Structure 1
Amino acid sequence: MIDRPDLAAMISPLSRALIDAELPVLREHGLSMWAYMVLLALEARPLRTQAALAESIGADKTRIISVLDDLQRRGLIERTPDPADRRARLLSLTDEGRRVRDSAQTGIQAKEERLLSRLPPEDRQGFLNALRTLAALPPDQITNP
């Protein structure tokens, strides 16, 4: 038996608390958590289909439509027909979308810095490195190691 709590038992309460800390920052920027996730995901790959975007952020593609409609109405994203498949829409951030995303992310990361400052510098860097490595794993490598 390993002498530590399960990873999910440690991460889940931390994740909920981090989300609770982010919500006021997102509200200040007029963003829902889903909208923020869309803005973050579009920066990784500026042009994506709506279905690919929904899959990448773990959202149902029908549920994400209203989020995309709102972001487009506000001028934060653009949706253009895919020349290769007119039924699909390519998504991209606008300059305003980048500005809003960057401002929200700065506010969120400022709160995170206060939390991370509780760790000694060497533990902090190790924690961030380990988190990046684990977060980059494809889901099937986590569920079926």
Structure 2
Amino acid sequence: MIAPLQRALVAAEQPVLRAHGLSMWGYVVLDTLEGQPVRTQVALAEFIGADKSRIIGVLDELENDGLLERTRDPADRRARLVTITEEGRRRHGAAQAEIQRGEERLLAQLPAADREALLRSLAALVDALPKLGQD
């Protein structure tokens, strides 16, 4: 039941992201950097589950658009630090707000008690995710 919903939500997000000049991976990168504004490229790729060589093109695109900056890590000259810019924050925030409005429209289809129960249940499942691999 979750897979069709996930596919529909991703499909609904695509035009929103395009309107804000973002790819899905670009949005994921900015979303991650919004939570922790400085990461190494390798740590960022690991955190979002992307191959570190595949993420380079996404980072290049975001950097060319002025949405992030990459600098050498003073502690390790081989590593590059990735930092979200103010424009990156602005564009991420605008896209995120529009995506959330769409999610709210979908959730409004449920009675308030069902909506609250669904959101609590989803939060509990997200919290349980790290434990799945331990069984």
TM (normalized to structure 2)?
A: 0.93
Equivalent residue, structure 2, for 1:72: 63
CA RMSD after TM alignment: 1.3
Any residues of structure 2 matched to 1:1-145 within 5 Å, and which? 10-139=1-130, 141-145=131-135
Equivalent residue, structure 2, for 1:3: none
| Counterpart-to-counterpart distance in 2, 1:143 and 1:95 | 37
Report the Cα offset of residue 36 of structure 1. 0.3
Report the Cα offset of residue 134 of structure 1. 2.0
More deviation, 12-21/126-135: 126-135
| Counterpart-to-counterpart distance in 2, 1:133 and 1:49 | 30
Q: Deviations over 1:88-127 (max 9, x none)?
A: 1111111100000000011111111110001111221221
In structure 2, the gaps of 5 or more residues are none
Report the Cα offset of residue 138 of structure 1. 4.7
More deviation, 101-110/117-126: 117-126
| Counterpart-to-counterpart distance in 2, 1:133 and 1:42 | 24
| Counterpart-to-counterpart distance in 2, 1:136 and 1:53 | 21
Equivalent pairs, count:
135
Identical columns (%): 59
| Counterpart-to-counterpart distance in 2, 1:98 and 1:120 | 34
